[in-house]
Structure 1
């Protein structure tokens, strides 16, 4: 199972780690916010040295109840960061975390090699056609509604089957447009209750039927700290546990705030599987 990032083949025989780099003032985890280019470059260097295969840059918080940011402001945040990272680290593989087609397009022109759309094409009707035309891997995430109202859209007839059906329909649409590489993200925390998130994680293997790489992003999310009755600031250990479960159930990419701990989880799971 491989994807093509501008001529560089990424093989998922061993799972990969994606480091989160938020260029926002309001992402839910304060330590993932980087508001100057010097901080962006320093954190990028740290994550690459620790083993991150991808750097996921976002300029618009999509946490529940997040305030909207204009397209112009999102571009102002992410484009200089992408350009500077590529200048300093030319081999870095940058993913752009956006639900807007224009931001995706301009980011790829600036040097990004992957589009991570946390709204699954729902908020921009041009996203699917745009990403297919750019010929870069596309992370298709399941979600409903908008960051402002997703918490009210958690009713499902059958959680797993409804999400599977939604993703299959969108994969078909993308294939019809010529999209080659698609990565699935089940959207933990997006239009799902805490218990639904755990049920979905427990059924992760059901999505292997689609034959596509799977990204799991649960780093410090409320499904962890609410169950443990702690703060998100204290949720690193819980994150590592959830990442380990995800790897055992077939995750190919872990999207995380802390890269070193995720890399260690990958190594230990891989060593266990090899015995």
Structure 2
């Protein structure tokens, strides 16, 4: 579906209009308030428990007056874990009843709730936004929801936001108001909702479900690599203790990682397997530590051992990345079926003689692998695909390049596809680059694969990857 040039926003809230307009502008779309084309209206009363209904009623109200336009409406709410019986969809009405007249007063009121209740230690919180878009003639009604924020800050922070943006801290450690508009698109509730809406308009709304998290790929899924394996080919010599690993995870999240993957067992060519006990000892403290410091972070684990998977999930892992595709051990299938973790299943041709048509080999393998996983009781929405670049037989660079070039042939599966090309050996084979000099080439390769449809970027340099995907998407929609 072609993106519309103009969208009418059904709201009397000018600040919210400006906030949403800044996101749509990134896609080359104009969002205007309905009051620019109609006299101000009084909207029907809203419910206190149904965001979708509230947004739908507002959109329909204006769409009846402007049936030939795209009409958007929203409903949002603030949810505080420590005050779960308050706010929610009644946040605006509650602030009004309290006589709060400015954003500054509202923000300070929320901060004072925690300051005045010294026994409250749980500051977890989030904002929710539902968007409903009605197309001309009501041909389609699209509904999306975005959540943003993980906790309430201990003070006012930032200058780029609207409303409560100055007190809601994201997974990056920054408040909404400390993020640029492009960053807000990835972390703020309305920004995330806009991304989902654009994807639905383009029929590209693929979701990866992982232990209660929903990862969407409109601006890529940035998947940070956190090695705790001294044997790792890339930066094993830099592996430190638990404190260093947690600091790395925190930095990756601050740089824009959607997922942090902990890996204790290298699978470089010719690797020596660790014992189950040693691998668990390496990864479990790191998983638990990340979850303690960043409870809303999505943590993945790179392992092919059943016992390690069990321990990782118990420690809080949300995604399991198995280079053997989960089907080499029936216990893995049973484990995956009875949990809700996300699965990253990899085509691994290291021990296989491939035919000249590598693309068809990958397609056939994933058809069979997905069928096995689904037959075991794993929902397809929980599965992402990894074509296995770097795992070709005898480290055959030509096979790697063929996989990279044809990765787009996997998009008909309608599942997220990983591009794992960071600092791989083909950089040395082609250009004689040592591992510490492959960052630029890795980003170029990741960009090409991203443009071909592989939108999970497994990277060491999170910040560059996040900037790249955001720029590619902005450029694609520039007019």
TM-score (norm 1): 0.93
Q: CA contact under 8 A between 1:94 and 1:113: conserved in structure 2? A: yes
Q: Judge conservation of contact 1:18–1:253 (CA < 8 Å) in 2.
A: yes
Asked if the contact 1:18/1:259 (under 8 Å) is kept, the reply is yes
Change (3 A) 1:220 1:170: same
- 1:92 aligns to what? 297
Partner of 2:267: 62
- The CA deviation at 1:32 is 7.8
- Contact preservation (8 Å) 1:16, 1:254: yes
CA RMSD of aligned residues (A): 1.6
Deviations 1:158-215 (A, max 9, x none): 2111121111101000001111211000000112411111111111111112111101
Q: Offset of 1:154 from its aligned partner?
A: 4.5
5+ long unaligned stretches in structure 2: 1-205
Q: 1:187 aligns with which of 365, 388, 399?
A: 388
**Which range moves more in the overlay, 154-163 or 202-211?**
154-163
Q: Which moved more, 1:26-35 or 1:89-98?
A: 26-35
Instruction: From 143, 155, 159, give the equivalent of 2:348.
Output: 143
How far apart are residue 61 of structure 1 and its match?
0.4
Larger Rg: 2
Q: Is the 8 A contact 2:229 2:236 kept in 1?
A: no
CA distance in 1: counterparts of 2:454 and 2:237, whole angstroms:
23
Contact 1:21 1:55 in 2 (8 A): yes
CA contact (8 A) 1:247 1:269 kept: no
Q: Is there any run of 5+ residues in structure 1 with no aligned partner, and where?
A: 145-149
Equivalence for 1:174: 373
- Displacement of 1:224 after TM fit? 2.3
Q: Which moved more, 1:4-13 or 1:65-74?
A: 4-13
What are the residue-to-residue correspondences of 1:190-209 with 2, within 5 Å?
190-192=391-393, 193-209=396-412
1:125 Cα offset (Å): 3.8
Where 2:436 maps in the other structure, the secondary structure is: helix
In the TM superposition, 1:46-61 aligns within 5 A as 46-61=251-266
Does 1:271 find its partner at 2:468?
no
Structure 1 Cα separation of the partners of residues 377 and 218 of structure 2 = 25
Structure 1 ranges of 4+ moved more than 3 A:
122-125, 152-155
State yes or no: 1:236 paired with 2:439.
Answer: yes
Does the 8 Å contact 1:120/1:140 carry over to 2? Answer: yes
Cα distance, 1:31 vs. partner?
5.9
Cα distance in 2 for partners of 1:256, 1:22 equals 11
TM-score (norm 2): 0.54
What is the DSSP-based 3-state SS (H/G/I as helix, E as strand, rest coil) of the residue aligned with 2:466? helix
CA contact (8 A) 1:20 1:32 kept: no
Corresponding residue for residue 218 of structure 1: 421
The answer to which structure, 1 or 2, has the higher relative contact order (CA under 8 A, 6+ apart) is 1
- Alignment-derived partner of residue 158 in structure 1: 357
Superposed displacement of residue 88, structure 1: 1.1
- Rounded to whole Å, the distance in 2 between the matches of 1:60 and 1:253 is 21
**2:242 corresponding residue in structure 1:** 37
Q: Is the 8 A contact 1:219 1:257 kept in 2?
A: yes
